[in-house]
Amino acid sequence: MFKKILIANRGEIALRVIRTCKEMGIKTVAVYSKADTESLHVRFADEAVCIGPAPSSESYLKMANIIAAAEITNADAIHPGYGFLSENAKFSKLCEEHDIKFIGATAEMIDKMGDKASAKATMIAAGVPCIPGSEGILDTYEETETLAVEMGFPVMLKATAGGGGKGMRAVWKKEDLKDAWDSARMEAKAAFGNDGMYMEKLIEEPRHIEIQVVGDSYGKACHLSERDCSIQRRHQKLTEETPSPFMTDALRNAMGEAAVKAAEYIKYEGAGTVEFLVDKHRNFYFMEMNTRIQVEHPITEEVVDYDLIREQILVAAGVPISGKNYMPQLHSIECRINAEDPHNGFRPAPGKITSYHAPGGHGVRVDTHVYTVHDSTKLRFYDF
């Protein structure tokens, strides 16, 4: 088992990892930017290393600084949390080269599933249902138009390196296709440095349902049932729920089997999420796979009594999984609290928090890194 884990993140996910490490008797190292000196994860970790100035590009995304922090503290593993470097194949490989265990997917797995076009091709080969669409990246607009006419409208254009709804366009008629193609490529290029596009048949009245999976280093995977993430704004999740009110026992078993098949096909190691679109007739189609722990992992933990962070650590240490699937025994909903300005495109607008009192009581769980500073009326808040 690991003796010391460095958490390459901040905010509530860093606190979440520290909590499980303490329960397991594992020492922790926090990394922080100069702006986060008083953050809770810095206070609660056994050791802390400043890795740079406030901008993430100069601190939490600075791979060399994080590796150096792990080496000077003799950490034998790094937990990346979510966001930042959690799905960065180069960082996973860099950890391996420095004999530091990356608690997450290998570089090969991240590469295989990180690009949406290659992920879809992989899942087709695995026999997992996929949305009808292009076979890989579309090279020209002419090719795109021909395929769209063959499939029939509506269609969905997607950036192959996309995420968060960027580089996506729903197109309902042929006359709008060219403008959608041009604008989606421009947006994708600006956001990801990659304007590669692919296209799928648009699923009408869709549900966004994801299956939590865990795989070990021996080729075995299991699932922990579903999370319904259908309530979104601009392709960003607002609430998640498990079990899904749309789900049936037959559909849960079928989707669970497909998710396990996907994980075992790529010999996936660690906690991951296989995301599906489900139409109104309960036909489901692979959408993407997230090769990391998810923001919404707490609701799965609450309904199956299972610590996913602990399992990540055990799997990374070479411990085999039980192999059994887990079904929800309770019901849980997660709400994301977003401080935004609704009059200006819902842009981030946290302002100043002057008081904070977390809700509590039976069945209430709050994952946060907001806290009250006891020696003043001010409140510290660190965005992630």
Spatial CA neighbour of 203 closest among 121, 117, 278:
278
**Total residue count of the chain as it appears in this document:** 384
The number of C-alpha atoms within 13 Å of 95 and in the hemisphere containing its C-beta is: 29
Pairwise CA distance, residues 215 & 222, whole Å:
7
Do residues 84 and 33 make contact, with C-beta atoms less than 8 angstroms apart?
no
Query: Measured between alpha carbons, how far is residue 283 from residues 131, 152, 180, 277 in Å?
Result: 10, 19, 27, 8
What residue type is 23 in one-letter code?
E
Closest CA to 134 of 198, 195, 201: 198
State the Cα–Cα distance between residues 95 and 102, nearest whole angstrom: 6
Provide the annotated active-site residues: 292
In this structure, the dihedral spanned by the alpha carbons of residues 62, 347, 185 and 88, taken in order and rounded to 10 degrees, is 20
The count of other CB atoms within 10 Å of the CB of residue 229 is 22
What's 247's DSSP letter? -
- The neighbouring-strand residues paired with 199 are 157
Angle, in degrees to the nearest 10, between helices 11-24 and 308-316: 70
What angle do helix axes 107-114 and 116-126 make, rounded to 10 degrees? 100
